[in-house]
Structure 1
Amino acid sequence: MPDLDYAAWFATMPSPYIVVTADLVIVEANQAYLETTGRTREDLVGRRLFDAFPESEGTAGSMRKVLESLERVLESGKPDSMILHYDIPVAGRPGEFEERWWSPVFTPILGADGKVEHIFIRSDDVTEFVRSSALSHQMPSVELSDRIALEAELYDRARELHDLNEELRQANLRDRQVAVTLQEAMLLTPDLAKHSDVAVRYRPAIESFNVCGDWYDLVDLTGDRFSVGVGDVVGHGLEAAAVMGMLRSVLNAAIRALERPAHALEVLTLYARSMEGALNTTAVEALVDPSSGLIIYSNSGHPPPVLVHPDRGCDLLNQHVDPPLGARPQHVPCSQAGHPYAPGDTLVLYTDGLIERRDEGIDMGLDRLCEVLTHHCEQSPEDMADAVLDELGVAEGGRDDISLIVVRL
């Protein structure tokens, strides 16, 4: 994903936001906040929060609650929210104030040490809601004692909503962990234990609570030959993961029986046509044959494997690429190509989550991958895999699932 202009994003957010330090000094305010409060940046930035918004008659209790909420955030490192009554100056009428009710949400921003460095404050104007609530209770006006009671009720409701949201978030995290554990179980590769010169990585998407349908595999064949493959099922969630598990098993069995990547992918294509959710899956299978010094590969719509040489040369194995599984109206045999390799070369297969970024062509992602691979070509496959994920900015995951297999030949 390309770098975002977070300053521009913050400035144009429609909701009012400010950012304060752990010492409660205002360091930034967006345009919506300035317009809502009738303040200027000079009124706010660089000032302590309670100097910029001092207590006034009737607001002492509310400001005390703000401080208590901020202290909870600083101590726990978790968000907090409340309902606040605070009047603001009337534009163009000095000395006059307008009654306002706010629903601030305090979100901590943690530093590398895990401590709160800044607090992101969103303040939504809920004045109309409070007034309509007062009218619904047939109150001709909101007196101070009634305000306190109403504030307490709204605050309790806000806390209940916050607690419910936290419970839902934790439940989603548990469901995601179950899904990830299931997918990791389906990615077990028994033959991998015999190859100390092969590294594999799987990273689930971080922008979704669902896993996707990426896979990798390694299969030992007759003699000293072996095959490696990766694939990507269209869709997200447990359904895509289940389809992935079945397609991976079929391809594993097909390459063992046929020992030709093109024939194995033909079998997989025929199987995909009979299975809901399997069409348009992409996959690439590569057979490494030390006796001939060739990598024999077949590709169904997948990003090309990369062969990296010790002299920092880099080849894309893209001589033949067929459409994704089942994309053609009628079944057509898969193509196959051979590419020579030498001992010490490194073969890298991956899924598109490793290289694809928003608003960026696929060629740019491939160039960036090749640059990283050639820079680290002398490292071990394990270190090379870690370096690729780190330097491509997906060490902790990306927008899409990522499967990666690095083979030292």
Structure 2
Amino acid sequence: MGMDVAIATRIRMITEAGDGLSGPDLLGFALDHAVTETGGLGGMAHLRGTGARPLLLAAVHGLIRTVARDWEEVEPDGASAPARAMAQGAPVWAPTPGAGDGTGPALPAGSGLLAVPLITPEEVTGALSVLMVPAERPAPERWAAVEALAAWAAPRLRGDPPDRDQDRGRGRDQGRGRDQDQDRDQDQDRGRDRDQDQGQGQGQDPGQGQDPGRDGGRDRGGTRTLMADDQVSQALWHMSDAFFAVDSDWRVTFVNGEAERLLGTSRTTLGRTLWDAFARLRVDDAEPDLRSRYRRAAESGTPVGFEVRWPTDQRWYSMRLVPVPNGLTVYAADITASRAHEAERAAAERAAAERTARIGELTDALAQALTMRDVVNAIADRVLPPFGASGIVVQLIEGRVIRIAGAVGYPQPFLESIDGASIDDVSPVAEVYHTGAPAFVESVEEYTARYPAMAGRPAAAHKQAWAFLPLIVSGRNIGCSVVAFAEPRRLNAEERALLTALSGLMGQAIERARLYDIEHTRAKELQRGLLPRALPSLSSVTTAARYLPASEGIEVGGDWYDVIPLSGARVALVIGDVMGHGLSEAATMGRLRTAVNTLAELEFPPAELLTRLNDLVSDLGDNLYATCLYAVYDPARATCVFSSAGHPPPAVVRPGHPVRFAGGAPDPPLGAAQPPFETTEVSLEEGSLLVLYTDGLVESAARDIDRGMRHLASALSSATRAPGPGTPGATGTSATGTSATGTGAGTRRWSGCATRCWPSCCRRSSSPPMTRRCSSPAPMRSPPTTSPHGRCPRGRSPRARRAITSGTS
């Protein structure tokens, strides 16, 4: 294991400072610095006794007396970390030793013991052990530091084996001897304290009047750091970190050169309390909790570390408070630079996370966008705010012409002025198109200098900085996306890289939206071509219809409607829906519309017409189903007769009456029904409205059928109460689904309600065609219970059951 340069230098200075030490002083000196270098809680040193005696505790640092007493003797062939280190001649790491587990006496929970053997050329003389929290294997450089101190101290200990019999008066009654020895140690401690107090009272330094040879520099806590030693003082003085020490009365006893930057010069600090220095420097005002941290460290006897911003120089320091016998030592390392680096790293990580999040959000939004307008709005919502931009315009290349595909945040007159510009002109869009690389313009002055022919554009657009991003799809440059700013703006490298990455996502989404818009336009044109271009003008009724796609899909729907004049001023009204979407369904819808017109000319009654239409649908295939409602209005009798194949009931609005839904449960859809179909007759006095619709008006993923029918009834009631002047009564409804179709007739003007198909309830009737007369239509009610697929489970034919399971709208 190796040490970094700073630790190696410090170890060399420590060993040089301790070259003059020997015996207990040497061992204590090495142990003190081993604990300090590892940041341990404390430490102990054991030496081999004479003969086959146990390993004897020779030095202690930072451990309370009760803990140290348990380690006074260690069996050399036991499982404790010191014994194993000596037996193996190599360092041993033992996490969480505990009493009774065979690894030695108890130590604090969650701690670990690093034991390093003291090896001389002749033998292993002992072990140097450091107690550490948490119980994690020490870093290699810390491990190596303890090994270096042990290797330095071991050769200097030769010839100094401990003799506990002399020191402890061991005999047959070891317990009594140990107690007597403890009392003697306490008496010696009190005597030394008294001598020290007398010396200080006579103006002597705390270290004067003491005989290191007699006491060995040791007190009842184990060993004592020899700060008064000149060589040690020199080493501590030149440390790169600040170091100072206080005694048990909080008087400053030592400050090195770096510590003077924190507390002041030695002349103004030594001999005074630490609190005097804090008050003079106003430390308590800036860090009111600092004093209590010092006191807690001294009272607990446990090293404490924390970071603090020192008020005198506003720099950050990592402070480590290490309690020592009769005082406290403080190490303060300047970590301002490392904190700044850490802050920069954290900022970079946050920027990367934000960049990833922005890309993810834009990707999700673009995945849901279909039309060009959707894509442009998604880009504006996700890209403009993070960069503080005020506008975006998407320009696509069509031949040699630049076209505006979409924009946000630009004046409309400006967009009209640049739409249709030539790609051969000198412009930023042309430059990006030809080079395939983004261009960033930071100010109006730069824009004017680069494109003098377009010097008036910034003022017209109300922009002062731009990012021109190429839109490249499968290696083709299809145009340019311009992100603009209302103020001069310099984008840094990180922002430019992010915008460039986002432009790739924009290009893919814009090309997809462009193709979608083309296909959507074609689909709408095809759908419109299959429906009536205009409704006939009739004297007996006023009719109106509307088809409205209720989704953004490009597939053609199967909804259709028609108004067919009959003889005797009668009028046939028909509405239907082929289940499914696509060209096949649209073709089937065209066939059915043609068939209805042909059968209507033969003036079949509604039930008979649906029977023949059902045969036609059955001949087209087993998996083809359609709903249809066919009604005939007779103005002479003021009645309307209709039959339904799986279609929702018509709404009837009579003057002075609430909205009603006429008819009973509809028969199964075409392709699944078994004729005959039921016929319903409704009285329609002058001024009444008959409304036919498909089911999307009353049902959607966000609204059930009951709510939808109530909404429709409410809308129709409002329309009949407040018609617009000179126009049909306005009905405000919302449609959701794949398509929307509606038609209606009345003796006065009417506005149709439009949407797609309503899940109908099919009912099989074995009776002959019957007519239900409704002088007053059935009151509005909830539709009969339907299956999960939207079709009634009733009906005995296999085709009806297939309609239930496979029919969708």
TM-score scaled by length of structure 1: 0.60
Alignment of 1:335 with 2:335, yes or no, is no
Q: How far, CA to CA, are the matches of 1:168 and 1:277 in structure 2?
A: 36
Q: How do 1:177-192 and structure 2 match up within 5 A? A: 177-188=521-532, 192=536
User: Does 1:230 pair with 2:575?
Assistant: yes
Contact persistence 2:535–2:543 (CA under 8 A):
no
Flag the 1:119–1:370 CA change in 2: closer, same or farther, 3 A. same
1:195-210 equivalent positions in 2, closer than 5 A: 197-210=542-555
Runs of 4+ more than 6 Å apart? 115-118
Offset from partner CA, 1:220-245 (integer Å, 9 cap, x none) = 11110011111111112333222211
AA matched with 2:684: Y
Query: Distance between the aligned counterparts of 2:706 and 2:718, measured in 1?
Result: 18
| Residue correspondence of structure 1 range 102-181 to structure 2 within 5 A | 102-103=355-356, 104=358, 119-121=380-382, 156=500, 158-181=502-525
CA deviation map 1:258-301 (0-9, x unaligned): 33111111111111112248733111111001122211000111
Larger radius of gyration: 2
Cα displacement (A) at 1:250:
1.1
Opposite residue 165 of structure 1, the aligned amino acid is A
Aligned mate of 1:402, from 740, 744, 753: 740
* SS of match in other structure, 2:636: coil
8 A contact 2:526–2:556 mirrored in 1: no
Could you tell me whether the CA contact under 8 Å between 1:320 and 1:335 is conserved in 2? Answer: no
Residue 241 of structure 1 aligns to a residue whose secondary structure is helix
Alignment partners' CA distance in 2, 1:219 and 1:260: 14
Give the CA deviation at 1:202. Answer: 0.5
TM-aligned CA deviation for residue 190 of structure 1 = 5.8
Give the CA deviation at 1:255: 2.0
Aligned positions of 1:305-320 closer than 5 A: 305-319=650-664
Match of 1:323 among 668, 679, 693: 668
1:359 deviation in Å? 4.8
Using the alignment, how far apart are the partners of 1:211 and 1:345 within structure 2?
33
Aligned pairs for 1:10-409 (under 5 A) are 97=346, 99=349, 100=352, 102-103=355-356, 104=358, 119-121=380-382, 156=500, 158-188=502-532, 192-194=536-538, 197-276=542-621, 279-319=624-664, 321-328=666-673, 331-378=674-721, 379=723, 387-388=730-731, 391-394=732-735, 398-409=736-747
What amino acid is the match of 1:350? Y
Would you say the 8 A contact 1:312–1:375 is kept in 2? Answer: no
In structure 1, C-alpha distance between the alignment counterparts of 2:605 and 2:743, rounded to whole Å: 20
Distance 2:534 2:733 in 1: 29
AA partner of residue 163 (structure 1) = G
After superposition, the C-alpha distances for 1:288-325 in whole angstroms (9 at most, x for unaligned) are 01122211000111111011012142221123520111
Contact 1:221–1:259 (8 Å) recurs in 2: no
Cα gap change, 1:278 to 1:205, in 2 (>3 Å):
farther
Instruction: Indicate the SS of the match to 1:235.
Output: coil
Cα deviation per residue 1:328-353 (whole Å; 9 max; x = unaligned)? Answer: 4xx32222121111011011001111
How far does residue 119 in structure 1 lie from its aligned partner after superposition?
5.0
- Say if 1:313 and 1:155 are closer, same or farther in 2 by CA, change over 3 A: closer
Distance 2:532 2:587 in 1: 14
Residue aligned with 1:177, SS: helix
Q: 1:274 to 1:116 in 2, by over 3 A?
A: closer
* Distance change in 2, residues 1:382/1:257 (3 Å): farther
Q: Which amino acid aligns with 2:652?
A: L
Measured at CA, do residues 345 and 251 of structure 1 come closer, stay the same or move farther in structure 2, by a change above 3 Å? Answer: same
Q: Determine helix, strand or coil for the equivalent of 1:264.
A: helix
Root mean square deviation, CA, Å: 3.5
Report if the CA contact (8 A) 1:381-1:408 is conserved: no
Give 5+ residue unaligned stretches, structure 1: 1-89, 109-114, 124-146
Distance in 1 (CA, whole Å) between partners of 2:681 and 2:520 is 40
Contact kept? 1:320, 1:336, Cα under 8 Å: no
Looking at structure 2, the residues matched to 296 and 270 of structure 1 have their Cα atoms a distance apart, in angstroms, of 21
- In the TM superposition, what is the alpha-carbon distance from 1:363 to its structure 2 partner? 2.4
1:77 counterpart residue number: none
Contact 2:698-2:704 within 8 A present in 1 as well: no
C-alpha displacement of 1:382: 9.4
> 1:278, 1:349 → 2: CA distance?
26
Over the matched positions of the two proteins, sequence identity in percent amounts to: 28
Query: What letter is aligned with 1:271?
Result: L
Aligned counterpart, 1:76: none
Contiguous gaps of at least 5 residues in structure 2: 1-338, 367-375, 385-491, 748-809
Letter in 2 for 1:345: S
SS at structure 2 position matched to 1:274:
helix
Q: Secondary structure at the match of 1:164?
A: helix
Show the counterpart of 2:428.
none
Secondary structure class of the residue paired with 1:405 = strand
- In structure 2, the CA distance between the partners of 1:382 and 1:262, relative to structure 1 (3 Å rule), is farther
Q: Which amino acid letter does the alignment assign opposite residue 745 of structure 2? A: V
* Deviates further, 158-167 or 342-351: 158-167
**Alignment partners' CA distance in 2, 1:338 and 1:206:** 35
Question: Once the 2 structures are TM-superposed, how far is the Cα of residue 201 of structure 1 from its aligned partner?
Answer: 0.4
In structure 2, the CA distance between the partners of 1:214 and 1:261, relative to structure 1 (3 Å rule), is same
Q: Which amino acid aligns with 1:358?
A: A
Question: What is the aligned partner in structure 2 of residue 64 from structure 1?
Answer: none
Deviation at 1:194?
A: 3.7
Look up the equivalent residue of 1:355 and give its one-letter code.
V
Partner of 1:71: none
Q: Secondary structure at the match of 1:244?
A: helix
The structure-2 alpha-carbon separation of the partners of 1:194 and 1:181, relative to structure 1 and needing over 3 Å to count, comes to farther
Structure 2 length as normaliser, TM-score? 0.32
Counterpart of 2:733, as a letter, is L
- More RCO (CA 8 Å, sep 6+): 1
Amino acid corresponding to residue 171 of structure 1 in structure 2:
L
Aligned residue pair count: 280
